[in-house]
Amino acid sequence: MKITFDNSYAALPAQMFTPQLPTPVAAPAIFARNDALAALLGIDLHAPDAAQIFAGNHIPAGASPIATVYAGHQFGHWNPQLGDGRAILLGEVLGSDGVRRDIQLKGAGPTPYSRSGDGRAWLGPVMREYLVSEAMAALGVPTTRALAAVTTGEDVYRETRLPGAIITRVAQSHIRVGTFQFFAARKDIDALRALTDHVIARHYPQADGPAALLDAVIARYARLIARWMGLGFIHGVMNTDNVSIAGETIDYGPCAFVDDFAHGAVFSAIDHQGRYAYGNQPQIGAWNMAQFATALIPLMADRDRAVQDFTAAVQGFAPIYAHAWLQVFAAKLGIADPTPEDAALITDLLNLMAQDGADFTATFAALSDDQARDQFIDRAAFDTWAARWRARQSPQARAIMARANPRVIARNHQVEAAIAAGVAGDFAPFDALLAAVTLPYTDNAVFSRPPSRNERVTRTFCGT
Catalytic residue list: 241
How far is 268 from 273, CA to CA, in rounded Å?
10
Residue of 86, 90, 91 lying closest to 111 (CA atoms): 86
- Residue 222 burial (10 A CB sphere; 0-12, 13-18, 19+): buried
Distances (CA, A) of 460 to 64, 131, 415: 34, 15, 11
- 96-115 burial string, b = 16+ CB within 10 Å, else e? eeeebbbbbbbbbbbbebbe
Q: Is 185 exposed, middle or buried (0-12, 13-18, 19+ CB in 10 A)?
A: middle
**Other Cβ atoms within 10 Å of 455 Cβ, number:** 15
Q: Of 388, 361, 363, 389, nearest to 376 (Cα)?
A: 363
Residue 420 CA to residue 51 CA, distance in Å, equals 23
Contact 421, 428 (CB under 8 A): yes
- Residue 374 Cα to chain centre, angstroms: 32
Element (H or E) spanning 121, and its range? strand 121-122
- Which residues, other chains included, contact 134 with Cβ-Cβ below 8 Å and sequence gap of 6+? 34, 145, 146, 434, 437, 438
Alpha carbon distance 443, 447 (integer Å): 8
Q: Which one-letter DSSP state was computed for residue 124? A: H
DSSP state for residue 340 in the 8-state scheme: T
Rounded Cα distance between 131 and 435, Å, is: 9
